[in-house]
Amino acid sequence: MLTLSGKIQPAHVVAIASPLAGSVDAILVATGEGVTAGQVVARVNGARLLSRQAEARQREIENSEIVRELESAVDEARLVVSKAEAEAARAASVLAEAEREYSNQKSLYQEAATPLVTFEKSEREYQTARADRDSLDALARESRHSFQSLSRKLEEERAGRDRAAAEAGAPTVAEVRSPIAGTVISVGASVGEAVSLDSAPLMQIAGDMTSLEVAINADGPLLRALHPGQAATVDIAAGGGISAPGYVRAREPGGQFLVAFRSPSPEVRPGLPATVTIAEAKQ
C-alpha cells in the first residue's frame, strides 16, 4: 500500500491567452465564477491596433486624393468619348452619302453619262470620307478603352479608400471570449497590465468541475511504484472527510502523476489538499 499527498485540480482546463499585444482594458469575470461559451470575459486594448489604425487613416487620406483625381479624369474621359463617338457618327453619315454618290457616278461614267473628272472627284471624296471614318472610329475606340480603364481604376481606389476608412474607424479594443462553458479557476492578469501573444494566460477556465484529479509529485522509488491504470482512493479532509474512488491517469514530464476521480460533493473543489492511497503499489 502506498499513501501520497497532492493538490486537487480540474482535469480539463482551457487557458485563454491575449489575442494581441497591448494592455488589459477590463477583466469581466472573477475566480470561481461560471461562464458560458462565447461570453466576453476580458477586453484588451491593442497597441498594434492603434498603430494599424493610424496607418489606415493615412491610406484613406492618400486614396481619397487619388479618387478625386480619378473622378475628374473619368469625367473628362466621358466627354472625350461622347465627342469622339459623335464625330465618328458624323463621319459614318458623310461616308454613306459619299459612297452613294460614288456608286451613282461610277454607274453614270460606265454608261458615258458623266465626265471622267466628275467621276474621279466623287471617288476621291469617297476615299477621303472612308479614311476619316476609319480614323474617327479608331479614336472613339481608344477613348472608350481609356474611359473604361480609368473607371476600373476609380472603382479599385474607391474600394481601397472604403477599406482603409473601415479599418481606421474599427474599435481598438479586442474582446476576449470564453471558448467553453465552465468555471473560472484562475485570473492571471489585472487591468492596465501589459500583455502580448506570449504572455501568461489571462485566465484559466475548467469545463467540468466534477471531473477532477490529484497532482502528485513523485521521484526515486515512487516512479517505479506508480503506473497509469492503478486503482486509487482519494481522501479529502475538507468538509469532515470525503472519499472517492479514482485511478492513476497519467505520468507527466518531470515525474508528476495525475490521479483522476469524480467529485462526490460540491465541497470538493480545486486547490484543496488530498491524500491518495494505492493499495497495489509497493514502495
The confidence score (pLDDT) of residue 224 equals: 76
The confidence score (pLDDT) of residue 34 equals: 92
Topology given in CATH for the domain delimited by 2-39+178-278: Elongation Factor Tu (Ef-tu); domain 3 (2.40.30)
The confidence score (pLDDT) of residue 49 equals: 64
Q: Which of 42, 3, 13 is nearest to 192 (CA)?
A: 42
The confidence score (pLDDT) of residue 239 equals: 63
Distances (CA, A) of 184 to 56, 181, 211, 264: 37, 10, 15, 20
- Backbone φ and ψ for 196, nearest 5 degrees, come out as -145, 180
Q: Yes or no: say if 45 and 189 are a contact pair by the CB < 8 Å rule.
A: no
**Strand ranges (E), the chain:** 2-10, 13-16, 22-27, 34-35, 40-46, 173-177, 182-187, 194-195, 203-206, 211-217, 231-236, 242-251, 256-262, 273-278
Of all helices (H) and strands (E), which one includes residue 76? Answer: helix 47-110
The confidence score (pLDDT) of residue 281 equals: 59
Rg (CA), the chain: 42
Q: Which of 231, 248, 238 is nearest to 270 (CA)?
A: 238
The confidence score (pLDDT) of residue 28 equals: 96
Q: Which of 278, 224, 223 is nearest to 248 (CA)?
A: 278
| Alpha carbons 97 and 91: distance in angstroms, whole number | 10
Q: Which of 198, 186, 190 is nearest to 26 (CA)?
A: 190
The confidence score (pLDDT) of residue 96 equals: 96
What confidence tens digit (pLDDT) does each residue in 154-182 have? Answer: 999 999 999 888 877 766 788 999 999 99
Sign of the C-alpha dihedral, residues 88, 89, 95, 98? Answer: negative
- Cβ–Cβ contacts within 10 Å for residue 91, how many? 21
Q: Yes or no: say if 231 and 280 are a contact pair by the CB < 8 Å rule.
A: yes
Q: How far apart are the first and last CA of the chain?
A: 8
Residue extents of the structural domains in the chain: 2-39+178-278, 50-168
The confidence score (pLDDT) of residue 41 equals: 96
Mean pLDDT by 10 residues, the chain (283 residues): 90 90 91 94 80 83 94 95 95 96 94 92 95 95 95 94 82 86 92 87 91 86 80 87 92 86 88 89 56
Distances (CA, A) of 192 to 25, 161, 199: 6, 34, 14
The confidence score (pLDDT) of residue 178 equals: 95
| Alpha carbons 60 and 163: distance in angstroms, whole number | 8
